[in-house]
Structure 1
């Protein structure tokens, strides 16, 4: 049967080649459509030499077919996981009205095929690729390399586009100036808690609210686990300043680690010990606290203090007694006003994300879903795949 199919396809191919390159008859169009019907009805019969002959024959017929026919053929082959690649690549480079369905849907286009099309074609093809059902790291990065704002936004809006962590981090940093990227980034399911908290400090109020609302979907047990992991990370033996860590640990197990103790550490200029103690009380890791203290606008510190129910007086001592020591204190009233303007509920929501951002927590929880919609989308994808 396979041999007969190959022979028939060879004979058909020879007939097509004898035709003039400009010939376009109704019979040829019908023949092409019939070939596709036969293939779609039993693609498993086309393999090896038979698939190669079929692929070459359809390519030859499509090259001489009218746009409407090519569009119809492309739309049918786009859904097939068995569609031959030569004709797919040929149609994918065609006019966008013909190529779009294949670029967006075909599971049989390989990354190399798609990247070659990105290099060869223009923005219409790029936009269709950016909206593919599934995009690998390589394809996403090839699209980003175009440095086209419209394509980057389309790509970020595609929840099934995959990005390496360092690429997302670069996009978050870029969005500080290119503000059109901020909303698509905030709405991505795969944006880590660390990147969401970074975004929080320079997006407008409406997007700040969206970030805070996403923390509502986090399970309380996950936050409790994160606090425990962060606190445990503070007391790993053999690390630098182990004597300071031991001091904080002893106070914590004796119940002496309080806001009063934090005030005393500030007064005694024991800043390293204060960092460990503050991290323990807030349920953060050491790196997170250092990031908070390095925020020159003090918004992060105001949020951390409000979320941890640390009084304004301690916030003031820390800012003006340590962080602004010897520097211009003209911003004093504005900074104190900042503390009062931070809603405690909003601060607690953002602190959930801060607690999840540490490397220790990320290692313990490889996938942290930050939006209920993400769960629904993934379940839908699994059902469609099944």
Structure 2
């Protein structure tokens, strides 16, 4: 196979002397189609041969044919790397399918192209299913507003803390970026608070301009409350509590939900099931408990846990999964355990009774 490829796939001597561009175009289409059909069965040596042939052919043909070759190469899991790099740096009408879809391109290739080519190339890259931190950073730094907006809405983009902070800075003057970032599921809590504060600052300016200083002065407190609500909703949206509740309820009917089962959920990092199991043991609703178990202040949860008779070992585990893995510092977690250990069951029951009285009245 390799000898045939080397000697008969393309006769470049005849092409160079004949000056027949239509023949070059026909061969480029033929070779690209043949490789796309056989790529999974080619050896590494055969791929290299195709690469050398296609690389020469794409240098001899017009835009339409290079676009055809790029479309054939874009979706392949393995391919002629030098040819694909060449096409990725071509004019955007040729490069776009490669930049958007080719998994043959490495991060180093994408970083180089994003840093050195046009915003249209960067926009194509920003639409890839997965963007590494390195690639995302270059797109945020070098890209125009359209590129930044696309990166912000791309769920497959991975951000470093620095590149996210950079994008949030741009969000100060662009509501589209603000909205896209607020809908992401991978924001760190401090980024969420930055976004909320950012939006409230714009409102503050409007209020001050209208002479409503008293309202404007209250905005920092309102912004903090809004940030807490937004962060809580962010964490609640990451888990399927309804499915977990049904699963736990089935086990509870068979007498299989107890503190040991709760600890097992903690060990397996199954937060939704841990919430559902805790709710059943504390005789509370899953929705209510889920809200208590994602907020920054764990005190209401500690009261319910003490009233339910759970041990400090179990509570320590629960304070280390789900939202609390991120939202509670080691110091806050230690303080919470101390508070739990100092609290008596009678005190917890009194506080629970007081809450119920307030709600009913």
Report the TM-score, using the length of structure 2 for normalisation.
0.58
**Preserved CA contact (<8 Å) 2:21 2:60:** no
1:69 aligns with 2:54: no
| Between 20-29 and 72-81, the greater mean CA deviation after superposition | 20-29
Q: Equivalent of 2:115, from 114, 119, 122?
A: 119
Partner of 1:325: none
- Per the alignment, in what secondary structure is the counterpart of residue 116 of structure 1? helix
Q: Which has the higher helix share?
A: 2
Give the C-alpha shift of residue 143 in structure 1. 1.3
Partner of 1:146: 142
**Preserved CA contact (<8 Å) 2:92 2:121:** yes
Separation of aligned partners in 1, 2:160 and 2:18: 48
Separation of aligned partners in 1, 2:20 and 2:124: 29
Separation of aligned partners in 2, 1:253 and 1:169: 45
**Preserved CA contact (<8 Å) 1:10 1:53:** yes
Partner of 2:293: 225
Separation of aligned partners in 1, 2:332 and 2:28: 71
Give the C-alpha shift of residue 249 in structure 1. 6.3
Q: Which has the higher contact order (CA 8 A, sep 6+)?
A: 1
Give the C-alpha shift of residue 111 in structure 1. 0.7
1:199 aligns with 2:291: no
Separation of aligned partners in 2, 1:174 and 1:156: 11
Separation of aligned partners in 2, 1:74 and 1:183: 34
**Preserved CA contact (<8 Å) 1:251 1:257:** no
Q: 1:214 to 1:24 in 2, by over 3 A?
A: farther
Partner of 2:76: 80
**Preserved CA contact (<8 Å) 2:127 2:150:** yes
Residues 305-341 of structure 1: CA deviation (Å, up to 9, x unaligned) = xxx9xx9xxxxxxxxxxxxxxxxxxxxxxxxxxxxxx
Separation of aligned partners in 1, 2:347 and 2:196: 34
1:132 aligns with 2:128: yes
Q: 1:129 to 1:24 in 2, by over 3 A?
A: farther
**Preserved CA contact (<8 Å) 2:67 2:94:** yes
Partner of 1:255: 347
Separation of aligned partners in 2, 1:150 and 1:18: 47
Q: 1:116 to 1:13 in 2, by over 3 A?
A: farther
Root-mean-square deviation (Å): 4.0
Unaligned runs of 5+ in 2: 204-225, 242-286, 302-318
Q: Equivalent of 1:159, from 142, 146, 155?
A: 155
Q: Equivalent of 1:95, from 88, 91, 94?
A: 91
Give the C-alpha shift of residue 253 in structure 1. 5.6
Separation of aligned partners in 2, 1:86 and 1:246: 62
1:173-252 aligned at under 5 Å gives the runs 173-176=169-172, 179-203=175-199, 211=230, 217=237, 219=241, 220=287, 222-226=290-294, 227=298, 228=301, 229=319, 250=342
Partner of 2:102: 106
